[in-house]
Structure 1
Amino acid sequence: MTGQTPLLAVEKVETFYGNIRALNGVDVSVNQGEIVALIGANGAGKSTLMMTICGAPHARAGRITFDGTDITAMPTHEIARLRIAQSPEGRRIFPRMSVRENLQMGASLDNMQYFDQDVEKVFALFPRLKERIDQRGGTLSGGEQQMLSIGRALMARPKLLLLDEPSLGLAPLIVKQIFDAIRELNRTEGLTVFLVEQNAFGALKLAHRGYVMVNGAVTMSGSGRDLLANPEVRAAYLEGGRH
């Protein structure tokens, strides 16, 4: 992976909420075909970084490039058009819409000719959604809603999939299904994934590389395997936290 230009490069990024600095000079990169995990405690700034990549809020300092394009000041809808798709924290599916309608909302207008084909791919990945195709999103279980949120993001045929806390609040068996699906997408389709997770053990097992964030700054980085073995990481994030 060395020597190549990253698909996503976050350089010296600072993000503020009013006068409060939430991100402090963050440097993160994601190469084509990688799964990269960002771990850290609740409130470390992980979700803020995800939102800043998507342009809401915008970075006040630093630079974000995607596939050679500077997206730092770009509006969110234009960033999405570059085929960055996000499954946000809290899922944010449309509760009154059916599973099918939620997936339609995720599909890019440019790719509607592939709609049926893409829906079948999502159903192959998450068969439970096929069983619930006409059910309202709000009546699904938490795990099914997370599958739907990821499926909706995949309908945009992303070059980069951003996943914000996909395992949050879910039973270990469901978490395993979701992580297995992410691994399969990466292995079979080369999908590039940037994953924010409090479940450090699951995320680092899944990821090629990882970053640790503390108080809005990246404090450590390395391969998933190296971070799993790191005594500091183990003490802070992994003791008793295996899922």
Structure 2
Amino acid sequence: MTSPLLHVSAVETFYGNIQALKGVNLEVNRGEIVSLIGANGAGKSTLMMTICGSPQARAGAIVFEGHNITRMPMHEIARLRIAQSPEGRRIFPGMTVIENLQMGASLDNLKFFKQDVEKVFAMFPRLKERQAQRGGTLSGGEQQMLSIGRALMARPKLLLLDEPSLGLAPLVVKGIFEAIKKLNEEEGLTVFLVEQNAFGALKLSDRGYVMVNGRVTMSGSGKDLLANPEVRAAYLEGGHHL
């Protein structure tokens, strides 16, 4: 059996003396969309940031494509072609759309820059229309498209998406989820998605994990988790806790 692209094993992460992740185990196989759902403050974003190297895990191991990246600095992890669209988008507001995309491009792949920009514009035509506009003047949905587009410029083997639907109108969310699905189906891109929008995330995903208070408490196919009464009660019917 082939080994997973990303393997997280017994990971513990702390902020000072406060333990945010408590022995997290999960894996993402090549070509999958895997989602991590849970209430606000469950530790989802902390796991995403720990995979990227800031903060670093205090215990456990994170292995990507056979490389143990647990103690690697962020820039070395990025060089392995793990790209993140972080929570809150974090684009460069004073830079134009095209300049933001340049910031995401990998130095190793600059020869593909024009081709990669065209690919991002084909996926998000709105960005093409706005390419000379400063990032800070875009709508929330456009900024999210730009954040994902910037991550794609690194030609990632693994795309980490942290709350891509946060604060966006349902129609915009639908468009972004459709773009993620298309990337996965047409390019075979592997996606690890952290979402509070449990329904949208699980519907999109091959598999999912549920996180509660820094621990993974449940896992299964997207379909099975959508049908699970505990998941439905906690995340799909207005509740917040398992």
- The two structures have a TM-score, normalised by structure 1, of 0.98
Write the distance in 2 (CA, Å) between the matches of 1:186 and 1:49. 22
Show the counterpart of 1:68: 66
Shift of 1:10: 0.3
1:47-74 per-residue CA deviation (whole Å, 9 max, x = no partner) reads 0000000000000000000000000000
Show the counterpart of 1:199: 197
- The total of aligned residue pairs comes to 239
Write the distance in 1 (CA, Å) between the matches of 2:111 and 2:57. 36
Which structure 1 residue ranges, 4+ long, deviate > 3 Å from structure 2?
A: none
Match of 1:230 among 228, 231, 242: 228
Write the distance in 2 (CA, Å) between the matches of 1:4 and 1:89. 31
Q: What SS does the corresponding residue of 1:22 show, helix, strand or coil?
A: strand
- The two structures have a TM-score, normalised by structure 2, of 0.98
Write the distance in 2 (CA, Å) between the matches of 1:4 and 1:178. 30
Residues 25-174 of structure 1 mapped to structure 2, 5 A cutoff:
25-174=23-172
What percentage of aligned pairs have identical amino acids? 82
Structural RMSD (CA) = 0.7
Q: What SS does the corresponding residue of 1:12 show, helix, strand or coil?
A: strand
Unaligned runs of 5+ in 2: none
Q: What SS does the corresponding residue of 1:77 show, helix, strand or coil?
A: helix
Equivalent AA in structure 1 for residue 191 of structure 2: V
Write the distance in 1 (CA, Å) between the matches of 2:67 and 2:3. 12
Shift of 1:154: 0.0
Write the distance in 1 (CA, Å) between the matches of 2:71 and 2:24. 16
Show the counterpart of 2:209: 211
Equivalent AA in structure 2 for residue 58 of structure 1: Q
Write the distance in 2 (CA, Å) between the matches of 1:55 and 1:112. 24
Q: What SS does the corresponding residue of 2:166 show, helix, strand or coil?
A: coil
